[in-house]
Structure 1
């Protein structure tokens, strides 16, 4: 079984979601994931995770990618122990968890260094795993 990992410390500011999207897309493409729609979906998941961490988290923001053959897991850790939850959408947000659920195989939360880490397993890339 091949395994690839990447760890990125992301600045906790308004530019974090865009920076994380660019970095994750570049890493996944470098690992051989080529399907443009799949990469776009991965970027949306990352953006939502990082946006939630910036808005509702605290402390440091760490993004981690793992690829195990065809399985890709994205996780974002922050300093808040408050577990994300689905809520009704309004002008202030509330669509993130629904987007993550629509674009992934599933998600979970675990305690992490006094805060939490949200893990998302992406749907399988249509072209298979990384080369």
Structure 2
């Protein structure tokens, strides 16, 4: 199994750093041309984690038989709640639901992991 991980400090630049990490790793796995949705989904998960999760985040990327699994860990124990899209946001989990093959949340002692699976053709 191929896997890679990175810790990010949180803050405004975290989503861009996360996309760079995913893009670089997909390229290393010879999947660079198939990662468009993975980059969007990474941005959404990391953006939510930074906004609602209280700071630093960790990202783990795993190559699976059908694509990749993206896991984002933050310090907020409450699971994310999808809400209607509107002027003040609410688009993130809707995109995750539409673009990922599956997604979920694993609670932890000091936070949670939000994961998703992205099929690659």
- TM-score bin, normalised by smaller chain: over 0.9
Q: What's the counterpart of residue 66 of structure 1?
A: 62
- Trace 1:1-131 onto structure 2 (pairs within 5 A): 3-35=1-33, 38-123=34-119, 125-126=120-121
Residue 12 of structure 1 aligns to a residue in which SS?
coil
User: Which ranges of 4 or more aligned residues in structure 1 deviate by more than 6 Å?
Assistant: none
Residue 109 of structure 1 aligns to a residue in which SS?
strand
Counterparts of 2:64 and 2:117, CA distance in 1: 11
Give the structure with higher Rg (CA). 1
Structure 2: which 5+ residue stretches go unaligned?
none
Q: Number of residue pairs matched?
A: 121
If the length of structure 2 is used for normalisation, what is the TM-score? 0.93
Distance 1:49 1:25, change over 3 A: same
Q: Cα RMSD between the aligned structures?
A: 1.2
If the length of structure 1 is used for normalisation, what is the TM-score? 0.87
